[in-house]
Amino acid sequence: MKLWLIRPVDGLGEKDDPWEPWFDKSFGFVVRAETEDRARQIANANGDDEVCRKYTQPRPLKCDPWLHERYSTCTELTPDGGEDIIMKDFAGA
């Protein structure tokens, strides 16, 4: 299995940003999965208010932000590199 770091894309603009307003939302995941596609599916299934659960088909891309590169990045984590923080997810009010 591989580890994947999944985070929102920066600079989407307020109208197109699933994380606006910022409260009651997830801002990142570290997921264990074989593929990027599966990691994104797991993240999207475990998202909070950034995922629009009320919509049926067809769903706007913005409703599943963890599935689409337009809204989120998905990077495989490897043991290579020096000491570092992989993810600190903080949102103060």
| pLDDT score at 71 | 96
Please report where in the chains the tokens 């307020």 appear, as a residue.
Answer: 14
pTM: 0.84
3-state secondary structure of 54: coil
88 CA to centre of own chain: 14
| pLDDT score at 92 | 67
Q: Where does residue 24 fall: left (phi above 0), alpha (psi -120 to 50 degrees), or beta otherwise?
A: left
Q: pLDDT class for 41, splitting at 50, 70, 90?
A: very high
- More reliable by pLDDT, 66 or 90: 66
| pLDDT score at 29 | 94
Report domain extents, the chain. 2-77
3-state secondary structure of 62: helix
Q: Token pair of 20, please?
A: 């606006």
Q: Is the pLDDT of residue 90 over 80?
A: no
Give the rounded percent of residues in the chain with a pLDDT score beyond 70.
95
Q: Are the C-beta atoms of residues 37 and 6 closer than 8 Å to each other?
A: no
d(CA 62, CA 70): 9
| pLDDT score at 55 | 67
Q: Read off the pLDDT of each residue in 59-86 and give the average, rounded to a whole number.
A: 90
